[in-house]
Amino acid sequence: MADGSTTSRPVRETSRRRARRQKQASTLIEATSSGWKLMLFKIVVLSLLCATAVYAALVLFMIERWLVGSLVIIGAAALTWIYLKRGVLPAKYLAPGLVFLLIFQIFVVLYSGYVAFTNYGTGHNSTKDHAIQAIMLQSQDRVPDSPTYQVSVLEEAGELLTTDQLYLAVVSADDEILIGSAEQPLEPTDQATVEDGRVVAAEGFEVLEFHQLLERQTEITDLSVAISEDPNDGYLRTQDGQRAYVYTSRYIYDEAADTMTSSETGTVYRDTGEGAFIAEDGDQLLPGWRINVGMDNFVRAVTEESIRGPLIYVTLWTFAFAFLSVATTFALGLFLAMVFNDKRMTSRKYYRLVMILPYAFPGFLSALVWAGMMNQEFGFLNNVLFGGAAIPWLTDPWLAKISILIVNLWLGFPYMFLVCTGALQSIPEELSEAAQVDGAKPFQAFRSIKLPLLLTALAPLLISSFAFNFNNFNLVYMLTGGGPRDVSAGVSVGSTDILISMVYKVAFVGAQADYGLASAFSILIFIIVGTISVVAFRRTKALEELN
Amino acid sequence: MKTPAPDIFRFSAVLSVAALALTGCGGADDAASADEEAGDDGAAAPEASGELSVWVDSDRADVLAEAAADFEADTGITVNLVQQDFAEVRDQFVSQVPTGEGPDIAVGAHDWLGVLVTNGVVAPVELGDAAEDFEDVAIEAWTYDGQVYGVPYSIENIALLRNADLVNEAPGSFDEMIELGETSGATYPFLVGLDAQTADPYHLYPFQMSFGAPVFGQNSDGSYNAEELTIGNEGGIEFAEWLADQGEAGTLSTNIDGDLARENFIDGESPFLLTGPWNVPAAEEAGINLAVDPIPAAGEEDAQPFAGVQGFFLSAQSENTLAATTFLVDYVGSPEIQQSLYEVGGRAPALTEAFDAAMADDEIVAGFGAVGAEAVPMPAIPEMGAVWDYWGASQAAIINGEGDPAQLWEQMAEDIAEATE
């Protein structure tokens, strides 16, 4: 073919243009980098940045976030270095993007990776200390029908021999004044003055005022004063420094042995390394805490009953959905692109504009509108287009699959139309003319000349479109919610659920949130999509070489 | 909450919060300054100083600001109100409290308690004798595992909205309602919004209750016993068969979702709509002559709906428990604030004194309130997500006649039992 002369012309032209542009750019950089205004601007911005970073780091160090604090300092130092040093032009351009990439992508990916190896989820939300504290708080039962005591908080008075120990003073039902502390059960005393049922003064003690209470809040709310020598009688506690109640605790924490003991049954709950206190019969006390569980989540992802059953079916449908979505949108987009690329078509501009509209509406909204249009009884499709037929668009397992592909076609073809139009316009018209001169029919010319060239240019986009549709959670969630479901099957997975929506259901809708398992699943999905993309890219490289 | 919360928001919220928490940009300076204040030893000061942090939604922020001003005037403690989207509070709270950046107090719905308690982020509030000043259902709702976890402020539930221009008497039973609806000549005798895939167990619950099939057994203190699943009892089977009959007769249709039901009611196409107070403003704007009736029973027993009770709760990691408890019990729980919260929210107040005042003040609220006082709290166990899921899908299948109702219902009861184990 005589394409030597046809293709070399644009190539030479672009290389000349590129050289010109490069020269322009370098003069621009020189002109600006030597200017004092720019230098001043740089210094102002960088000093603001450093000031903010130092402040943020100080705050972080104060709350003992050593790692994050140091990262802030290192980041700010690196940015300052990059922008003050002469040269390092690529870094100057890339740095802002890299910062955002680190925060919004790399960090999120690494964090998901980390979570995948923990038991993070409902009931395993924080540290062991927090869990123990929460269990102790939750297990305090007020003794039924016990009275409300007007309580006063006291501390020892006098200059000498004072400790910071706090005392609670109450007036009992038979007008006896009782004082006690954490170490000493309530004991009657008559050396105190009572007003309106509340102790206002006591010999040897000072009654704390409200503002003094506030300064020692944690001490006061942590204070338990035993009612008597017998611990089973319960203890007095106050939450607001005004009223006290008698409680008993359902669990007793033994710090030395690291066990929780039920005071009702005597069952001992131990920390067996599974992130919760667990009794011998397997009963666990929640809240537990976060621990590393190694590969457990990955093992569960493939072995857990509720997931394993539908997994194969859902995986197959996910592949079919992603593949068919790409194929149908590409076919329609390409067809329309060719039609509107034809010079004989008049007012193409306006048609093109209209074509892009579905792409301009938010996908969320479109999916919801389509769900309404596909309503079996009142939907636009059945009522207007099909003359009142009762077609179960979204409630029949097979029709729902077709519906979801139709809606995705509507949402996805403008993108394909755009990229195909672009790619088609970059293929020189002379190629098809030459083919026609050589006697090829239009379809033949398209198939053996334009399509291969198009595919080489578009293959990466098709692969990324596949990856996008593989995880097209929004559409599934908004249109069908994964349904319809076979309710007799006993699983919560529906016939249009794809992997990511199934993961969402298993990890979030199902019994309890399980971020560890969900993260493990995301990693597995990432591996699947990643492998497919790498293989596909390899093959497109081969395609390029063929051409 | 009127329906089980849309989990997608939760999903994204958790991710973004996790990201924020680790980068440490979420209000780190607040925490630091609070620490300083707490460490500050101002023994000589005549009044206390300190800060409380409260998460509140925009509707209630102004009322809380009133309470906060009173509290500061009385005690010297500043209350920092942080506005949050109501729907986001639960998951933000769960992920922020362990990092030490959570608030001392937050606003919420009682059915979050399961998740909050299981994650150990919420602390009990001892109301003491004040508990008797609240409506029973409000305290029952905020009781989890024997402990009260918050100060309730409003009760939200569904009731039967009636277009009094079409039908001028309250129906005594479900069948009577359908009869009245049919003789009124409207297109639909009765409307309730149902989803095509998941029906709506929340809106259909009063009918289920009228067949004597509560979802769980209740303990003596009104809390649910998740181990005693009663949904699959004989009453449940009867209810399933009733659902199938109604589906066949067309009185219940999963093609009429909440929006369609509301639109048709507003257009006068139906005399009855089973819904909550959230649809009242739209109907009033459209000029419908509204009446609020008790929900008519389909079975032998009372048609009790679920009640959602909103309230304020305390963080387990709060370092200001004493001040926070005082603020909650004595200020948020006061009749004035409860009354103000009612005025902005339009839901029946939880405090009996304010509740009675509201009942006398507004017929619509009185209608909902009367139903709400008899309602049962929505279960709060963390596994409810799975329960709603199976429950709804099976209801939709039964209404659409996709199999033997009794068999589908039994299967559902088994699935739920397995999920809540």
In a domain, residue B6? The reply is no
CA of A17 to nearest chain B CA: how many angstroms apart?
44
Q: What is the architecture of the domain spanning A300-546? A: Orthogonal Bundle (1.10)
Task: Examine the domain organization and report whether B166 and B265 are in the same domain.
Answer: yes
CA of A33 to nearest chain B CA: how many angstroms apart?
33
Q: At what angle do helices A36-62 and A66-84 cross, to 10 degrees?
A: 170
B329 touches chain A (CB under 8 A): yes
Instruction: Identify all chain B residues contacting A394, using CB atoms and an 8 Å cutoff.
Output: 196-197
Q: Please measure the distance between the N-terminal and C-terminal CA atoms of chain A and give it in whole angstroms.
A: 14
In a domain, residue B40? The reply is no
Test mutation, B117, B126, B257, B331, chain A, max A CBs within 10 A: B126
- Residue A148 CA, chain-centre distance (Å), reads 46
Q: What is the residue-wise DSSP string for B105-132?
A: EEEEEGGGHHHHHHTT-EE----GGGGG
**For chain B, how many structural domains are there in total?**
2
Tell if the CB–CB gap between A243 and B97 is shorter than 8 Å. Answer: no
Tell if the CB–CB gap between A111 and B18 is shorter than 8 Å. Answer: yes
Question: Encoding tokens for residue B310?
Answer: 């909103």
Instruction: Identify all chain B residues contacting A134, using CB atoms and an 8 Å cutoff.
Output: 120-121, 316
How does pLDDT run across A503-514, given as a tens digit for each residue? Answer: 888 777 766 788
Q: Which of B7, B14, B260 sits opposite A378 (nearest CB)?
A: B260
R_g of chain A computed on alpha carbons: 36
Q: How many residues does chain B have?
A: 421
Instruction: Identify all chain A residues contacting B330, using CB atoms and an 8 Å cutoff.
Output: 240
Task: Examine the domain organization and report whether B285 and B384 are in the same domain.
Answer: yes
Q: Which residue of A has its CA nearest to B37?
A: A215
B250 touches chain A (CB under 8 A): no
Specify the CATH number for the domain of residue B180. Answer: 3.40.190.10
Q: What is the architecture of the domain spanning A143-249? A: Beta Barrel (2.40)
Task: Examine the domain organization and report whether B192 and B297 are in the same domain.
Answer: yes
Ranges of H-type helices in A294-396: 296-303, 305-341, 348-360, 363-373, 380
- Can you give the pLDDT of all 547 residues of chain A as single tens digits? 344 444 444 445 566 677 777 777 766 666 655 677 888 888 899 999 999 999 999 998 887 888 889 999 999 999 999 888 888 888 888 988 998 998 888 888 899 899 999 999 888 888 898 899 888 888 888 887 788 888 888 888 776 656 678 888 888 878 888 888 888 888 888 888 888 888 888 888 888 888 888 888 888 888 888 888 877 788 888 888 888 888 888 888 888 888 888 888 888 898 888 888 998 888 888 889 999 998 988 998 888 776 777 888 889 999 999 999 999 999 999 999 988 888 888 888 888 888 888 888 888 889 999 998 998 888 899 988 888 888 889 888 899 999 999 999 999 999 999 999 999 888 888 887 888 888 888 888 888 888 888 888 898 899 999 999 999 999 999 998 887 887 777 777 889 999 999 888 877 776 678 889 889 988 989 999 999 989 988 887 776 665 5
- As beta bridge partners, residue B156 has B308
Annotated domain spans of chain A: 25-115, 126-139+252-294, 143-249, 300-546
In a domain, residue B44? The reply is no
Task: Examine the domain organization and report whether B184 and B231 are in the same domain.
Answer: yes
Task: Examine the domain organization and report whether B148 and B174 are in the same domain.
Answer: no
B132 touches chain A (CB under 8 A): no
For residue B366, the enclosing domain spans 51-156+307-377
Q: Which of B316, B386, B411 sits opposite A133 (nearest CB)?
A: B316
Instruction: Identify all chain B residues contacting A214, using CB atoms and an 8 Å cutoff.
Output: 48, 50, 75, 77, 320, 322-323
Task: Examine the domain organization and report whether B140 and B164 are in the same domain.
Answer: no
Q: Of all helices (H) and strands (E), which one includes residue B45?
A: none
User: Look-up: residue for tokens 């925060």?
Assistant: A103
How does pLDDT run across A190-200, given as a tens digit for each residue? Answer: 888 888 888 88
In a domain, residue B43? The reply is no
Tell if the CB–CB gap between A214 and B48 is shorter than 8 Å. Answer: yes
Q: Of all helices (H) and strands (E), which one includes residue A33?
A: helix A3-33
Question: Encoding tokens for residue B92?
Answer: 């933000």
Q: Which residue of A has its CA nearest to B316?
A: A134
Q: At what angle do helices B234-249 and B201-210 cross, to 10 degrees?
A: 120
3-state helix, strand, coil split of chain A in percent (to 5) is 60, 15, 30
CA of B382 to nearest chain A CA: how many angstroms apart?
6
How far are the Cα atoms of A435, B39, B42, B73, B326 from residue B47, in angstroms, in the given order? 93, 16, 9, 10, 16
Q: How far apart are CA A360 and CA A511, in angstroms?
A: 38
In a domain, residue B3? The reply is no
pTM over 0.90: no
Low-confidence ranges of chain B (pLDDT < 70): 1-49, 222
Q: How far apart are CA B303 and CA B274, in angstroms?
A: 12
Q: Taking the CA atoms of A390, A393, A394 and A395 in sequence, report the sign of the dihedral they define.
A: positive
Residue A106 burial (CB < 10 Å; 0-12/13-18/19+)?
A: exposed
How does pLDDT run across A356-373, given as a tens digit for each residue? Answer: 888 888 888 899 999 989
B131 touches chain A (CB under 8 A): no
Test mutation, B72, B129, B187, B322, chain A, max A CBs within 10 A: B322
Which ipTM value was assigned to this complex?
Answer: 0.78
Q: How far apart are CA A293 and CA A272, in angstroms?
A: 13
Q: Which residue of B has its CA nearest to A473?
A: B8
Q: Which residue of A has its CA nearest to B393?
A: A487
Strands B150-157 and B224-229: unpaired
A with B: how many residue pairs have Cβ under 8 Å apart? 218
Q: What b/e readout covers A299-338, taking b as 16+ CB neighbours within 10 angstroms?
A: ebbeeeebbeebbeebeebbbebbebbbebbbebbbebbb
Q: Which of B28, B95, B126 sits opposite A63 (nearest CB)?
A: B28
Q: Which of A62, A134, A512 sits opposite B316 (nearest CB)?
A: A134
- As beta bridge partners, residue B155 has B309, B348
Instruction: Identify all chain B residues contacting A68, using CB atoms and an 8 Å cutoff.
Output: 22-24
CA of B231 to nearest chain A CA: how many angstroms apart?
16
Question: Encoding tokens for residue A107?
Answer: 């960090």
Q: Enter the DSSP assignment of A195.
A: E
In a domain, residue B126? The reply is yes
How does pLDDT run across B75-113, given as a tens digit for each residue? Answer: 888 999 999 999 889 989 998 998 888 899 999 999 999
Q: Which residue of A has its CA nearest to B264?
A: A378
Task: Examine the domain organization and report whether B385 and B278 are in the same domain.
Answer: yes
Question: Encoding tokens for residue B141?
Answer: 């709702």
